[in-house]
Every structure is written in structure tokens, then in C-alpha cells.
Amino acid sequence: MQAVQREIAEQLNVQPPFADNAALIAEVARRVAFIQDCLVNSGLKTLVLGISGGVDSLTAGLLAQRAIRELRERSGDDSYKFIAVRLPYETQFDEHDAQASVDFIDPDERHTVNIGPAVKALANEVAAFEGKHAVSVDFVLGNTKARMRMVAQYTIAGAAHGLVIGTDHAAEAVMGFFTKFGDGACDLAPLSGLVKNQVRSIARHFGAPESLVEKIPTADLEDLSPGKPDEASHGVTYAEIDAFLHGKPVRDEAFKIICDTYRKTEHKRVLPFAP
């Protein structure tokens, strides 16, 4: 079992557990520098990130804002900026958490794009939905929401001449828990290789409120299951996924679920097929 865990962890470039606080601080600095290098090498000066209210976008936003602030201080160029974007579908049930996240990050700019009208307009034009069960339609439109959010972020980034930040990390990557060409699409993914608990630890390092750090993760994409916890979709807990990726013992059932899901979602982690 450990050989399989090790192979998957290597493929996802999983980072080892933080040995101590100094290791955590060093990792934060490395990822901030990564963001800065990506932006400087692109010749652009703006970062764009959608803020959902969950700990992943909160942590990515905190890293991004620090990267931008340090770039301004180091270069003396005030044109560097970070734009945090709210992307609700009509009225988001946990909007207070999303606003609290944006407030704590304190970005240079705040934008809001309600994706509801666009998603509904598209759904009304899709003849393929005719005769389909409501649950099936709801699931498909959940992915459409994720893709529409990325369309909005790239539209803002295009107008602002910037790069789009993604929030994918190892604990989501192993489960394929992202929408292909939706939240899986971005210019840089500063949380890549981290497990969920490490993402939370970085948020705590920044002093984020515990209510946001330990908030129950939810993609919240399905109208018929609002606020559905990620772990209910996974069939395993994030603690088990983290343990798996760090080579620790897990239940036989959890091991099987993670391995089967990893294989089934391989297409999400590779480039499009080509001849």
C-alpha cells in the first residue's frame, strides 16, 4: 500500500509535512516568491482570484496579496495589484463567509460578477437537457457554474492585463475534485502539492479567523444539494486523504476509494489527447 501511496504522491509533487514552524514559514516564502516570479516573468502586473469563502481561496488570496505588496515595496512600482473577485450564483448561501474572506485578505481591488444570469441563459439554449432527469441536469450545470466563473476571471484578467490564480492542491488533485476547464484552469496554482491540512496551517500562519480556516469545505455547485460537503462527495475525509498522500496508514476502504478515484479522474490531470 505504501508503494502505491508513494507513487501517487510523487506524481502530484506532494510536499512533506511541515517539520516545524520554521519549515512552514520557509514554504510560505517559497510560494510567495513563486507567485512573484510568475508575474514578473509574464511582463504583467495584476493577479486575479475568485474568492469563494472556503479556506483554499482564502489561503491563495493571502499569498497573492503578500506577493503583490512585497513586489510594490521592492520595486517602488505601485501599478502591481491583486484583484479579489466574488462570483456568486444568484445569492450564495454562505455569502457572509465569502465577504469575511475578502475582508481579511484586504485586496487592492474587489470585483463582483453574478454568474446566475449567464448560466441560466446558457441552460435555456441547451436542447440536450430535454428529457433529462433534474438531478443529472443539476450536476451538469454545477460544472457549467465552475466554468462560467473561470470565464469571468479570465475576462477580468484580460481587461486588467493580469494572470488568473487557481486554488487546486494535492488533496483535491488526487480525487479529481475540480471541474475540467473550470476551476482546474488557471495561469498559476500556488497551492499545488499541499495537502488540505497544510493549506489550513498556512491560513493560520497569516492569522485568519478559525471560523474560516476550519469551515466545512464545499464546492456548492448543485442547486438540489446546496452546501454539500466535499467529503460527502469523496466518500472519505480530508484527514484520510492527507494521511494517504503523506504515506500514513489509512482504512482499506479509504485506500481503495482514493486509488480508484485517482485512476478514474486521470483525464483531468493531463493535457487534451492529441494524435
Q: Catalytic residue numbers? A: 56, 172
250: left (phi over 0), alpha (psi -120 to 50) or beta: beta
- 141 with 121: CB under 8 angstroms? no
Long-range pairs, 116-121, Cβ under 8 A, ≥24:
116/88, 116/89, 116/90, 118/148, 118/151, 119/89, 119/144, 119/145, 119/148
What would the grid cell of residue 221 be?
455547485
| Residue 43 three-state SS | coil
Amino acid at residue number 265: T
Report the distance separating Cα 63 and Cα 119, nearest Å.
Answer: 30
Report the distance separating Cα 67 and Cα 115, nearest Å.
Answer: 28
